[in-house]
Amino acid sequence: MTAFLSVLLDGFASGMLLFVLSVGLSVTLGLMNVVNLAHGAFGMVGGYVCVVLLNRMGVPFPLALAGATVAAGVLGLVLERTLYVRLYRRDHLEQVLFSIGLVFVLGAAVDWFMGARQQLIQLPDWLSGRVEFWGVGLGRYRIFLIAVCGALVAALHLGLVRTRFGAQLRAAVDDGVVARGMGLPVPRLFALTFTLGSALAGLGGALGVEVLGLDPTFPLKYMVYFLIVVAVGGTNTVIGPFVAALLLGIVDVLGKYYVPEVGAFIIYTAMVVLLLARPHGLLKRADA
């Protein structure tokens, strides 16, 4: 029983991570209808920035996380303004080719500078080890993850529901044409959201080095996970992708732990089935 609880908590923590990594994608996909298969690359960049800051420069862990977030956000802003902006009106094939190309370029660059091996980080003392709660051993880092990601979920949800920016964003996702007609600065909204989404992915990648692992194949390995979160969660809320990410994380970790011989097959099957059952979860506008 206690073993089951530990595994469940692991799944919970990795679901939280998946949410932080993929929430940006769900907004950009819904907002501009861009098939961005390169979203994981921002997570990878964040992860590597964190590793370099922590291992080579001896920066404290929280500052390394902040550095990873900023670096991925800046990269997202630059790429959005220079390259992505040209692709909004193109068809899906060109978007697919472009984003796969971006994954290959960034993966090769990382491989060149950092090598193809898995990266490891040394967590600070206050985050390593376990604490016991009523006989259930919980890793400190898992608790830290759940706290940080939980705070992010709350902040994003309130930001989307309560602020003016959030209201504009929801309007633009619901109907971009009308939002533009009402005078909302949709391109600027998109640039801001893209930057924020990339920054969050960078943070997720940095937090996830310890849990999800990090090597140059990271963006392709987790691409399906991000797409599932988006497909199941819908595009106009924070709570939808959050629930989807939690379910995915828990099913994935439980599956890997209890039925390892089936492997990732469960996840892919779940993706196909969910896409068929809820094709419009992917793109809410298709309902209209």
Applying CB under 8 A, the residues found at the interface with another protein are 33, 35, 83, 86-87, 90-98, 100-109, 111-112, 220, 224, 227, 231, 261-265, 268-269, 271-272, 275-276, 279-280, 282-283, 286
Cβ of residue 258: shortest distance to another protein, in angstroms?
Answer: 15
Cβ of residue 104: shortest distance to another protein, in angstroms?
Answer: 3
Cβ distance to another protein smaller for residue 98 or 141: 98
Cβ distance to another protein smaller for residue 23 or 206: 23
Cβ of residue 180: shortest distance to another protein, in angstroms?
Answer: 21
**Which residues touch 13 (CB under 8 Å, ≥6 apart)?**
142, 145, 146, 149, 211, 249
Cβ of residue 168: shortest distance to another protein, in angstroms?
Answer: 24
The structure tokens listed for 187 are 């391109």
Cβ distance to another protein smaller for residue 65 or 103: 103
Cβ distance to another protein smaller for residue 155 or 272: 272
* Interatomic CA distance for residues 30 and 160, integer angstroms: 14
Cβ of residue 210: shortest distance to another protein, in angstroms?
Answer: 25
Cβ distance to another protein smaller for residue 132 or 287: 287
Length in residues, the chain: 288
Cβ of residue 67: shortest distance to another protein, in angstroms?
Answer: 25
* Interatomic CA distance for residues 280 and 231, integer angstroms: 8
Please name the amino acid found at residue 257: Y
Q: Which run of H or E residues covers position 169?
A: helix 164-174
Query: How many secondary structure helices (H) and strands (E) does the chain include?
Result: 11, 2
DSSP letters along 45-113, please? HHHHHHHIIIIIS---HHHHHHHHHHHHHHHHHHHHHHTGGGTTTS-HHHHHHHHHHHHHHHHHHHHHH
* Rg over CA atoms, the chain: 19
Cβ distance to another protein smaller for residue 132 or 261: 261
Cβ distance to another protein smaller for residue 104 or 144: 104
DSSP single-letter state for residue 125:
G
Cβ of residue 285: shortest distance to another protein, in angstroms?
Answer: 10
* Interatomic CA distance for residues 127 and 109, integer angstroms: 31
